[in-house]
């Protein structure tokens, strides 16, 4: 059990587990032999140097929970140089799904760009503790995202994840909000376009109908020009009365 204010690192040496308390977050190493179910593994006993690590600041948000959602990720080297910025609108999702989506994007970036040692910084306490194994994943929406995160983590040489307050994760938060803004703006523009198209169609349908002229003979109306489809209900009035009606303001 983690003590408040302390972080724990577990390594596997000479077949025994040793626990060291310090300032490092848990380090998850890829096993060299059989696949292990735990993330707390070490395949060589050697500790990665600081230069080997990249850091991914991740965040996800939802306006409505569920509602319009998105994630933001900033990946930096140990020297603070930005290696990549990621953001995406996710549609109608929950806040936790957006947080996991940000984690998956960070893992995908690290694997695709050849960064085998990744440290993730997130302000989602739930996600961090679920990945560490401190909390169980009970949500059916989060379970597949959690399992995919585990698969990607297993492909890395080493992995760390830690929780920080939102104030220390501002850039990722900004990117997540920008993604939501983009998605909501596109949705708004789409609605405007549909409304304009609908109004255009309405205007076409509401175009004034040209009266057809005819003459009454033996109780029947014989059209002088044009035709009317069989079964059409019509309103008939004398041409003089029609002219008087049209002249009214």
- CA 107 – CA 112 distance, rounded (Å): 9
Which uninterrupted H or E stretch holds 125?
helix 125-132
CATH 3.30.420.10 segments of the chain: 7-185
Q: Tens of pLDDT along 45-69?
A: 455 566 689 999 999 999 999 999 9
Contact 149, 104 (CB under 8 A): yes
- pLDDT value at 166 more than 50: yes
Which long-range contacts does 186-195 make (Cβ < 8 Å, 24+ apart)? 186/89, 187/68
Q: Among 1.10.8.60, 3.30.420.10, 3.20.20.70, 3.90.950.20, name the CATH number for the domain at 7-185.
A: 3.30.420.10
Average pLDDT over residues 159-168: 96
Q: For residue 114, what are its two tokens?
A: 């050849």
> 3-state DSSP call for residue 64?
coil
Q: What is the pTM of this model?
A: 0.62
- pLDDT value at 186 more than 90: no
Contact 98, 71 (CB under 8 A): yes
Burial of 12 (0-12, 13-18, 19+ CB in 10 A): middle
- pLDDT value at 20 more than 60: no
Q: Tens of pLDDT along 192-229?
A: 666 556 565 555 554 555 677 777 777 777 776 667 77
Average pLDDT over residues 3-9: 41
- pLDDT value at 34 more than 50: no
Burial of 210 (0-12, 13-18, 19+ CB in 10 A): exposed
- Which residue, among 65, 68, 60, 61, has the nearest Cα to 120 in the 3D structure? 60
Instruction: State the DSSP code for 166.
Output: G
User: Who wins on pLDDT, 17 or 156?
Assistant: 156
């Amino acid at each position: 059990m983690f003590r408040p204010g302390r972080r724990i690192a577990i390594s596997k040496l000479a077949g025994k587990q040793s626990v060291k308390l310090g300032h490092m977050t848990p380090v998850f190493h890829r096993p060299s032999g059989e696949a292990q179910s735990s993330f707390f593994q070490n395949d060589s006993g050697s500790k990665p140097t600081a230069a080997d690590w990249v850091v991914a600041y991740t965040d996800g948000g939802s306006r409505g929970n569920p509602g319009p959602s998105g994630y933001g990720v900033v990946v930096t080297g140990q020297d603070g140089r930005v290696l990549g910025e990621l953001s995406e609108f996710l549609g109608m999702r929950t806040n936790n799904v957006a947080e996991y989506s940000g984690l998956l994007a960070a893992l995908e970036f690290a694997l695709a760009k050849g960064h085998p040692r990744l440290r993730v910084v997130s302000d989602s306490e739930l996600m961090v503790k679920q990945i560490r194994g401190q909390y169980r994943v009970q949500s059916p929406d989060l379970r597949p995202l959690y399992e995919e995160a585990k698969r990607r983590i297993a492909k890395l040489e080493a992995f760390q994840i830690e929780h920080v307050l939102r104030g220390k994760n501002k850039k990722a938060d900004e990117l997540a909000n920008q993604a939501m803004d983009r998605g909501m703006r596109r949705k708004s523009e789409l609605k405007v376009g549909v409304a304009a198209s609908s109004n255009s169609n309405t205007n076409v349908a509401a175009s004034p109908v040209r009266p057809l002229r005819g003459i009454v003979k033996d109780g029947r109306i014989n059209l002088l020009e044009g035709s009317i489809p069989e079964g059409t209900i019509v309103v008939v009035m004398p041409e003089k009365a029609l002219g008087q009606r049209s002249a009214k303001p």
